Each structure stands twice: as C-alpha cells, then as structure tokens.
Amino acid sequence: MVIKVKNLVKRYGELIALDHLSFSVREGEIFGLLGPNGSGKTTAINCILSLLKFDKGEIEIFDKPMTPEAYDIKRNIGIVMQNVAVYNELSVYENIDYFCGLYVKDKNLRKELVDEAIEFVDLDDYRKFYPKKLSGGLLRRLNIACGIAHKPELIILDEPTVAVDPQSRNKILEGIKELNRKGATIIYTSHYMEEVEQICSRIMIIDKGRAIATGTKEELKAMITLGEKITVESYDVSEEHLKKLRNLPNIVSVEYKGHLLEIRSSKGKNNLENVLEFIKKENIQFGKIYSELPTLNDVFLEITGKELRD
C-alpha cells in the first residue's frame, strides 16, 4: 500500500470536514478523488501531508506513519498544490531547481532532473521567464514541474487544471498518465468528472467528508441502478403517455420538461428498443432521440440525490 488512511476525522468547530474517511492507494495506480467543491478533498490531502492537524484517524505512507518529521517519506512525495505556489522573483528554471534542490542534493543529478522536468511540461522556451510573464496555463505547468522534478514515487495533484485552457489541460492530463507509466503512483483530486474518468484507474467519490463510493469507473457505474438515459426531443407528449411509459419494463423514472422527455432505465437489454417501439406505437412526433450511458455524475446523483456540479 502506498497510502493507507483509516477513520480520518477532521472538524472545523461545528463543521465536520472529514467524517471517518478511510481509503488506501495501491502502488502504480492513478487514484482519483472526486467530489464537489468543499467536499473535503483538499482537507484530506493536507491531512495526509501532515500539514493539518486532524481529530482522529491514522495515516500511513509507504507503510510508515506519516509525521511532519518523516523526511524519508516526504523525500518520495511530490505535491502539486491547488494554488500556484512559485517564487515570483525566480525564473522558471530557478523555481524548479529550488524546489528540486530541497529533495536532491547532488548538483549534477539535479541539473538533469530539472532539464527533464522542463522538457516534460514543455516550458523549454520559457526557461528564463519570470512567473509574472507566464499565462495561466504555462504557470500551471510550471507549478506541476516544481512538484515533480525530483521524480517522486508518489505524486499528489490537487486540482491541477482549475482555470486552465483546454489545450494546456490535455497536455497536463497526458503528462500525468506518462508519469504513471514511468512508475509513479498518483493521487488526483478534481471536481471534473470527465478528467477523473479519463485518467484514473480507481476513483473515490467523496461528499461532505465521507467516502460514498470507491472503485474503477466501471465498478462505480455498476453500483447504481441506472443503466441508460434516453432523451427524446418532442412536443406532443401527454400525461397519458408518461403514465404508460412508466409501466414499461426496466424504467426507473420518466420526466418531461419543456420539450425534452428524459427516460432513465435500469440495466437490462433492449431498453432503447422498447422506448422506440412505444413511441412508434403511440405515434408520437419527435425530433431527435439519443441514448447515453451513465456518467460519474449520475453515480453521484443517485447516491447523494444532488448534482456533482451546481
């Protein structure tokens, strides 16, 4: 186990930020922490890193208890904070070298590592630039380079793509996958389910400081009853139709808002076919019709009763 968190509790006065949170991260995986803003992702990370005091629980990293003085553990961790944390007075190269130097003493080795990191985030043209002159996306990349230059075994990325343009975002996500391929274990927090789905091998969904589900995305989706979501664009759906629809097999819920008919069905075969047949039989005029598989948002929705993003 790279990380083992057991019964972690963190209170801010009355507010319970982490409520008996337990999870573990295995070597070589990309572990996603998915949850809405304020769900406790960053708090959990900060507790793991021993930056925050917590009220209860145990945290082990590399099978050893984590403390502020556990330098041998810290040496093998790389962190990319949610907010960009670099020195404005140091150039791109100097920033990376500075942070790398806190982990790696050997100068020659460090020079190699820094060059690699710069290449990795594709900032070669900006080596001598100061952070103030970098755009948001470039700054994020610098932020990442500072966290990973020392080639840690465990990399923790806390929402590294907030406010980043799509191009940079893809580059960042690809980079994370590559780091993983090269052997790093990764913890990735985000409130973008698409990102998590795209890169994470295992995902934990948290809400209000509680882990509500953990597993691969397939496992997560298998947990819920929803199998398929069918949307029909139509202007002549009557109450009668809705009633009849609800009686079809496998149908979980039917909603008609505006001109969109939304039919959620549980897992099963021929769901779409049944709906199509019904429409044909009732002679309902429709524009478009499409079917979607459940997303992590649907998982979240079904478990918590609310949307992941508001």
Partner 1 sequence: MFAHIFNYRLKCLLRDKSTIFWTIAFPLILATFFRLAFSNLGSQEVFKVIDIAVVYDLQYQEDQYFRLALDEASTGDSRLFNITVATAEDAQKLLDENLIKGYITVDTQIKLVVKESGLSQNIIKSFIDNYLQTVAAASTILRNNPSNQQEVIKSLADRENYIKEVSGTDAEPKTMLNYFYSLIAMACFYGGFFGMRETTDIQANISTLAARINVAPVHKLKAFLYSLCAALLIHSIEMLALLGFMHYVLKIDFGYRAGFVVLTTIIGSIAGVLMGALISATVKKSEGLKVAAILTISMLGSFLTGMMFQDMKYIVAQNVPVLSYINPINLLTDALYSLYYYDNLSRYFLNMAFLSVFTILATFGTYLILRRRKYASL
Residues forming contacts to partner 1 in the complex (CB under 8 A) are: 12, 46, 49-53, 68-69, 71-72, 74-75, 77, 79, 81-87, 89-90, 94, 97-99, 101-103, 105, 146-147
Decide whether 107 or 246 has the Cβ nearer to partner 1: 107
133 close to 160: Cβ distance less than 8 angstroms: no
> CB 95 → partner 1: shortest distance, Å?
9
How many of the other CB atoms lie within 10 Å of CB of 291?
A: 15
Distances (CA, A) of 185 to 70, 152, 182, 222: 19, 9, 9, 25
DSSP letter assigned to residue 75: T
Pairing type for strands 15-25 and 3-12 reads antiparallel
> CB 53 → partner 1: shortest distance, Å?
5
SS3 168: helix
Single-letter residue type at 137: G
> CB 87 → partner 1: shortest distance, Å?
5
Task: Describe the strand order of the beta sheet including 77-80 as a list of residue ranges.
Answer: 77-80, 154-158, 185-190, 30-34, 202-207, 210-215
204 close to 48: Cβ distance less than 8 angstroms: no
Element (H, E) at 242: helix 239-246
> CB 172 → partner 1: shortest distance, Å?
18
> CB 68 → partner 1: shortest distance, Å?
4
> CB 169 → partner 1: shortest distance, Å?
20
Distances (CA, A) of 150 to 29, 59, 61, 143, 247: 19, 23, 18, 13, 60
DSSP letter assigned to residue 39: S
> CB 86 → partner 1: shortest distance, Å?
7
Is 285 exposed, middle or buried, given 0-12, 13-18 or 19+ CB atoms closer than 10 A? exposed
Decide whether 153 or 302 has the Cβ nearer to partner 1: 153
Distances (CA, A) of 232 to 42, 225, 269, 270: 39, 21, 19, 16
Report the C-alpha dihedral over residues 64, 70, 73, 74, rounded to 10 degrees.
150
> CB 32 → partner 1: shortest distance, Å?
21
